[in-house]
Amino acid sequence: MPPEFGATPWGRSWTRTVETTAASGPNPLLPKARSLARNHCATLTTEVGVVTAKVVASSDQFSVRIELPPWSEETKKDAERLIAKSLAVNPGLAVGDLPDGLEADFTAAGIAFTVPVGEQVATCDCRTRKRPCAHILATLYALSMRVDERPRLAVELRMDSAAAAECADPDWIPLTDLDPGTFYG
């Protein structure tokens, strides 16, 4: 059975930002954060450089905002080159998917698509003084799950929207474009 968080190398990198091995001891907030993410208590909205979430915990709702620094122009060009090369070698991927080997290419090139927790600008409107709080951690776990489902999101978070734009799937047809009378008939 695949892991719940970090089933792909893309999501695993985001999970590692939360579950760092550099910590002096286990973080007691991680089980609660995993539970919140597992139970879909964190509703994410992502855009370039920003992840926002509404996290519902104990019948209270908390707003989380995580800002991620964009890549430099040079890093963007290197990332685009690696993506183009990888997609040329791996035709037929689903829209939003990236090959797992590309993550290793990013690492070898020194391109980090994740941002360590200490370098993120993360805010939560809860009253907990310890940062990152369980709500921020739950948001990062939920992000890890979302990146597992759609690896391209890991790259889109750090690039401007023009560079992150992808081609539409030529095999996908909106249901509204189908005529039920002729389709079944």
Please report, for the chain, the start and end positions of each structural domain, with discontinuous segments joined by +: 9-160
Name the phi and psi angles at 45, rounded to 5: -130, 130
Give one word for 34, left, alpha or beta, with left for phi > 0 and alpha for psi -120 to 50. Answer: alpha
Spatial separation of the C-alpha atoms in residues 136 and 124, rounded to whole Å: 7
Where is 185: in which H helix or E strand? none
Nearest alpha-carbon partner for 155 in 52, 86, 84, 80: 80
Tokens coding 102: 């590309």
177 DSSP 8-state letter: G
Q: List the end-to-end C-alpha distance of the chain, in Å, as a whole number.
A: 41
pTM: 0.82
Give one word for 173, left, alpha or beta, with left for phi > 0 and alpha for psi -120 to 50. Answer: beta
Spatial separation of the C-alpha atoms in residues 62 and 154, rounded to whole Å: 24
pLDDT by position in tens, the chain (length 185): 567 888 999 999 999 998 877 667 788 899 999 999 999 999 999 999 999 999 999 889 999 999 999 899 999 999 999 998 988 888 888 878 899 899 999 999 999 999 988 888 999 999 988 889 999 999 999 999 999 999 999 999 998 754 444 444 555 677 788 888 887 76
